[in-house]
Every structure is written in C-alpha cells, then in structure tokens.
A = this chain, B = another copy of it.
Amino acid sequence: VRHFTIELEELNQHLMQMGGLVASAIHLAVGSLIEQNRELAEEVIRQEPTINRMEKEIDGIATRLLALRQPVACDLRRLTVALKITTDLERIGDFAFDVAQRSLNLMKQPAVKPMTDIPKIAALVQSMLLKCLNAFVNSDADVAHSVLLADDEVHQFRDGIQAELKDAMQRDPAVASAAIDLLFIARDLERTGDHATNIAEDVIFLAKGIDVRHGAQQPEEA
C-alpha cells in the first residue's frame, strides 16, 4: 500500500500538468490572435480533448482518494479544492478553444484597427494564471492574494476594449463581424481572469483554512 502523502503529491503533479497545459493553451491562442498564426490556433484546438480528459482523470483520482483514505482537515481540503480547481482549469481551456476558433475566423475578415488593448488584457490574465498555479504548488497565500488584486484592472481593460470596439463598429459597419469576434475574445480573457481568481481563492482557503470567496473572511469549518 502506497503512502497517502505520495498519492497526494501525485495528484498535485497531475493538477500542475493540467494547469501547465491550460496556461499554454491560453498563451498559444493569444499568440495566434496577435500574430495571425493559424498553426498556433490549430494546436489549441488539437489539445482541447486532452484537457477535458485530464479533468476527468484528476476528478477520478481525488474521488478515489476521498473514498479509500477518508482524509480529514488539511488533506480533505486539498482533495475538495482539487475538484474545484479542475473545473476552473477545464473552463479556461474552453476559453482558449473559443479564442483560437475566433482567431482563425478573424484571419478571413477585414481587420479592425486599432487592435485595442486585447494584447494587454491577455498578458495580464496570463500572468494571473501562472501566479495562481505557482501559488497552488507552493501553498503560497501571498502570491494568491496578488492575483485577487489584478481583478479590477482586468475589468477596466474589458470595459475600455468594449467601448473601443463599439465605436469602431459605428464608424465602419463593415468591421462588425470582426469586432464581434474581438468582443467575445475580450470576454473570454476577462473570464479567464475570473477563474484564475477562483483558483487563487481556493489556494488561500487551502493555505489558511479560510474561505475568501465573495468577500467573506470567516474561518471555515472542515
């Protein structure tokens, strides 16, 4: 019988592998958009089934460990948080997929100029995603907190991009189709930031045993 600590460590490694794949999918999808590179987008589309499969595998491992090891306290939290984090990562994978598809679509259409702050919001949410994954590996609540602080900036970027695209459409209705794709891409990236925030909140819960979701700060029973 293997030691439970080793099994938890393996679960962590699976989660990090899934996190790495999802972060790479967002990176490739944004790269495809900015460089108008078909191959990067196609790579994201190819990787999507792998991300979905990993979610199921990790959920299966966490559920099995819950049943076999009947953990309490911190170990129990680690398993229930793993179940939450895979959901967030899988959703971010969906956003990367959507950005990649819209990026391919945009290559067939007249470009919207200027390209707005999409590269900036993309860089910001990528940094949030990498930080929350690192915070998870190191159970580092401080790094996780720094992710929460970036959330306002993401929403400001999103509002600015939306206003700019609306103006572009009103000036030139011919760009409407491309502008719609860019609007949804900005939304996908904003949502990616939201899910990175969820993961950061879970890491804080894990590290400190408190639930900071929706602004509450009470200690959690477990």
Which A residues lie at the B interface, using CB under 8 A? 49, 52-53, 55-56, 59-60, 62-64, 66-67, 70-73, 76-77, 80, 83-84, 87, 162, 165-166, 169-171, 173-174, 176-177, 180, 183-184, 187, 211, 213-214, 216, 220-222
Contact in complex: A52, B213 (CB < 8 Å): yes
Residues of B within 8 A of A176 (CB): 166, 169-170, 176
**7 further A-B pairs in the complex, CB-CB below 8 A; given A64-B222, A180-B183:** A53-B214, A59-B80, A80-B83, A83-B84, A87-B87, A171-B173, A184-B187
A162 near B174 with CB under 8 A, answer no
Pairwise interchain contact A73-B77, C-beta atoms closer than 8 A: no
- Main SS class of interface, A: helix
A-B contact pairs, 25 of them (CB 8 A): A49-B214, A52-B213, A52-B214, A53-B214, A55-B214, A56-B213, A56-B214, A56-B216, A59-B80, A60-B211, A60-B221, A62-B80, A66-B66, A66-B80, A67-B71, A67-B73, A80-B83, A83-B83, A84-B87, A169-B169, A169-B173, A170-B173, A180-B183, A183-B183, A184-B187
